[in-house]
Structures are given as structure tokens and as C-alpha cells.
């Protein structure tokens, strides 16, 4: 019965995010010239690798990279979207500081000699309480995004930016490259999942330029889970990963970000998941998992509310066409967090 129905009624309708979930399984793996790279948990996309030089796009502050080689050899490692103050430790050697990649503020360039090596990139130790920014829904306002970056650069407390997506208008390769070029003006990295405005082009573009669609990392006792809801749904296979992330972060601070609000506080509008049943299933999981904050985008305004006892924030202030009559223009959120929880969420107005 099920097989017949699936054949008859286009499985793509039911699992629009399946291909992206599948692509995530191969993020951070590359082999060339007898040398293999593997980024743990797919936390960085390998944009190019020829056996001598590798270029990565980091989607987390810390990376763990396994290198497998049949003989010692030189390796040039460029990590774009890299945290300032990042140090690299190769096996048991002393940590080394990077030089920047030309034209990229948040980047790390290393020249190494590797064989079977374990590379650990991590920011230098600092205070456990820190601040990060949440910025989403830039879309067609990319031409004005430097205003936002300048404001962020002027705030020394911000360590990185996280985004729920809608960085560009439709997700074409040229748009994504343009966005990454504009990021050269931001002194800190921006880690992002995809929004619905990245769904207008094949997922291979994001996969090859940014790496993962879904990513989870821990930074100074705070867990971040960025979950792909670009099609107003989460792929069923992702719920298993999300369960693991929720379990692992049960006793710590856990921040979840996804683009489309599971439920729209202006319910008649329905700027939310395509299925409210699925939305409720997700929210129940987040509530049960004692998530400390849920950050969403998609709606170009600012909302703060609670659902299933999870503090929830919608912030779509990157400049895409704004919701009117709400007094909210371009903005981002500044969040102070630590292993003890969320200390503060403040709206930073850019206009």
C-alpha cells in the first residue's frame, strides 16, 4: 500500500529536504594525491583540495581534522570563516598562530608538514561568558549589509555571528559567492544554516561553498544546533540527529536555530512550518530537551515569546522587505551566554 502510494504521489512532495540531509553526510571529507582529510562532525566544508593545498569554510568555532597520508608531506591549510585568535595544534606539538588569508578578515592560513596527523583548531581560551550576534534575512539587502557588519565590528564583545539563513535571494552560486565576498568586511565568522531563500537553486551550491546545512557545535559550554528548515519542514532523518544533540546538551546551555518558525505568533499569517503537527512535534522535543533559547528568522521583524516553555525569538532584521507598522527596522540580536544559561538577549538597531 505504502509503496504504491509513494510511486503515485511524488515522494519529493513529502521529503523536500532529504537531498540536503544526505549531502550533509559527505561534508568535510576529501581525498587527493594519497592524502585524506576528514573534518569531525562535518563542521566545515572542504571547498578545494588537491593533495597539497586545502581550503575549508568553517561552520563552527573549533574544528577537529584527521589527516591520513602514506608519507610525510607539506600541506597548506586555508580556513575561511575562522575565529579570531584561533590556534592550531598538530598532534602533540605546541599551538601555532595563523596568518590571515589575503583579503579575508576572519580567516586562518597555515603551512604544515603532515602525515597521519590530528589537527585541532580552536580559539585561545577566554572568559566562559561571551556574546554572539544573530543575523538573518539579508536577501536583496546585500548591498547595504556592510552597515550591519560595521556595527558588529565596532562591538569588541561579539565573538561570532550565527544565522538562520535567507542570506541571499534564491541561492544561486553567484549570489552565495557574493555573500561570502561581502563577509570579507566582517571581522568575525558567520555560521549559518539555510533559509527558504536558499531553496531556489540546487543544494550543491551551498554544499560546495558553505558545507553543512545542519551543524552542531559547542563553544565554551554552550551548545549551538543549526537546523535546516528551508522547506518549512525538517527532514525526518534529521530528527534522529537532533535527538542526539538534545541528549548531549541536556545538562548545559543549548541554543537552537532554524529558519522557519515552527509556529507563527501571528497565526492567521501562517509564516511557519507547512505542517502544524510537525511543528508541534519539534517544539515538544525542544521543550522536553530544555532548550535555553530558540532563534528563528523568516519573518522580517522581531518577536519574543515562549512556546513549550522555550524562550523563542524571531529576528529577520537583515534588511529584506520589512514587516510594516511594527517599529522594527534592520537589526540583529546580541546574546550573552555561558554554560550557566542565556544571560541577555538585546536587539541592536542598525537604522
Partner 1 sequence: MLRWLCVCCVLAIVSPAFAQEHEDRQYVRPGVLAGGLAVVPGFVVHGAGAFTIGDRRAARRLLITEAIGLGALIGGGTLLAVTGTSRRMIGVVAPITIAGFGLFMLSWLADIYAATTGGRDAHAPGFSPRYDAELGYAYVHDPQFRYGSFATLHADLRAHDLRLSPDAWIALDDDNQRFTLELAYRPFGRTPRRAAPDGSYAELATAFRHHRFGSDDFAVITPMWWIQARLDLARVAPTLAGAFVEGQLGAGLELYDFDVRGSKLGDNAFGLLLSRFGFGAYFGDGGARSGELFAYYDHRHDDFAAGLGVQGIGSGILGHVGARGHYFITRNWGVSGLVELGSALVTSLAVRYRGGM
Q: Which residues bind partner 1 (CB under 8 A)?
A: 1-2, 5-6, 9, 12-16, 170, 196-197, 199-200, 230-233, 236, 239, 260, 263-278, 280-281, 283-284, 287-288, 299-301, 305-309, 321-326
Name the residue nearer to partner 1 (CB basis): 43 or 241.
Answer: 241
Q: How far is the CB of 189 from partner 1 (least distance, A)?
A: 26
End-to-end CA distance of the chain: 56
In whole angstroms, the minimum distance from the beta carbon of 292 to partner 1 comes to 13
- The least distance separating partner 1 from the CB of residue 70, rounded to whole angstroms, comes to 43
**In the complex, least distance from residue 222 CB atom to partner 1, rounded to whole angstroms:** 21
Residue number, 252 or 287, with CB nearest to partner 1: 287
Nearer to partner 1, 75 or 314 (CB): 314
- For partner 1, the closer CB: 42 or 195: 195
Pairwise CA distance, residues 102 & 115, whole Å: 27
Residue positions counted in the chain:
351
> For partner 1, which is the closer residue by CB, 98 or 262?
262
Please report, for residues 28, 37, 64, 75, 106, the alpha-carbon distance to residue 31 in angstroms, rounded to integers and kept in the order given: 10, 6, 17, 13, 26
Nearest to 205 by CA among 19, 43, 42: 19
CB of 237 to partner 1, least distance (A): 10
Specify the residue, 81 or 214, whose C-beta has the smaller distance to partner 1.
214
Q: How far is the CB of 228 from partner 1 (least distance, A)?
A: 12
Q: Which is nearer to partner 1, 129 or 278 (CB)?
A: 278
Evaluated on CA atoms 138, 144, 149, 155, the torsion sign reads negative
> Residue 297 and residue 193: Cα distance in Å, rounded?
11
Burial zone of 11 (CB within 10 Å; 0-12 exposed, 13-18 middle, 19+ buried): exposed
State the minimum distance, in angstroms, from the CB of residue 86 to partner 1: 35
In sequence order, the 6+-apart residues with CB closer than 8 A to the CB of 295 are 134, 162, 164, 255, 256, 257, 312, 313, 315, 333
Residue 126 beta carbon to partner 1: minimum distance, rounded to whole angstroms: 33
Q: Toward partner 1, which CB reaches closer, 33 or 341?
A: 341
Amino acid at each position: 500500500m505504502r509503496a504504491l502510494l509513494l510511486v503515485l504521489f511524488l515522494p519529493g512532495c513529502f521529503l523536500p529536504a532529504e537531498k540536503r540531509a544526505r549531502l550533509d553526510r559527505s561534508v568535510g571529507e576529501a581525498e587527493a594525491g594519497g592524502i585524506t582529510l576528514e573534518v569531525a562532525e562535518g563542521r566545515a566544508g572542504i571547498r578545494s583540495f588537491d593533495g597539497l593545498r586545502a581550503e575549508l569554510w568553517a561552520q563552527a568555532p573549533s574544528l577537529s581534522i584527521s589527516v591520513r597520508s602514506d608519507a610525510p608531506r607539506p600541506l597548506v591549510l586555508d580556513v575561511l570563516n575562522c575565529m579570531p585568535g584561533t590556534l592550531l595544534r598538530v598532534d602533540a606539538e605546541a599551538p601555532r598562530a595563523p596568518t590571515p588569508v589575503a583579503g579575508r578578515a576572519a580567516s586562518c592560513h597555515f603551512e604544515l608538514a603532515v602525515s597521519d596527523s590530528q589537527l585541532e583548531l580552536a580559539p585561545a581560551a577566554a572568559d566562559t561568558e561571551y556574546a554572539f550576534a544573530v543575523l538573518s534575512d539579508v536577501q536583496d539587502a546585500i548591498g547595504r549589509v556592510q552597515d550591519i557588519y560595521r556595527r558588529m565590528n565596532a562591538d569588541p564583545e561579539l565573538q561570532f555571528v550565527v544565522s538562520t539563513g535567507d542570506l541571499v535571494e534564491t541561492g544561486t552560486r553567484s549570489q552565495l559567492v557574493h555573500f561570502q565576498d561581502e563577509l570579507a568586511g566582517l571581522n568575525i565568522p558567520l555560521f549559518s544554516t539555510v533559509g527558504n531563500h536558499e531553496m531556489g537553486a540546487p543544494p550543491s551550491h551551498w554544499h560546495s561553498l558553505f558545507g553543512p546545512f545542519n551543524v552542531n557545535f559547542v563553544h565554551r559550554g554552550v551548545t549551538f544546533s543549526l537546523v535546516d528548515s528551508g522547506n518549512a519542514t525538517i527532514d525526518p532523518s534529521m530528527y534522529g540527529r537532533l535527538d542526539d544533540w538534545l541528549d548531549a546538551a541536556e545538562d548545559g546551555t543549548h541554543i537552537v536555530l532554524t529558519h522557519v518558525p515552527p509556529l507563527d505568533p501571528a497565526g492567521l499569517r501562517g509564516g511557519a512550518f507547512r505542517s502544524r503537527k510537525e511543528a508541534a512535534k519539534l517544539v515538544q522535543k525542544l521543550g522536553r530537551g530544555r532548550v535555553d533559547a530558540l532563534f528563528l528568522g523568516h519573518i522580517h521583524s522581531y518577536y519574543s515569546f515562549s512556546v513549550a516553555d522555550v524562550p523563542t525569538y524571531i529576528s529577520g532584521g537583515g534588511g529584506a522587505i520589512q514587516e510594516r507598522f511594527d517599529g522594527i527596522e534592520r537589526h540583529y540580536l546580541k546574546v550573552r551566554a555561558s554554560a550557566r544559561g542565556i544571560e541577555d538577549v538585546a536587539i541592536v538597531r542598525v537604522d
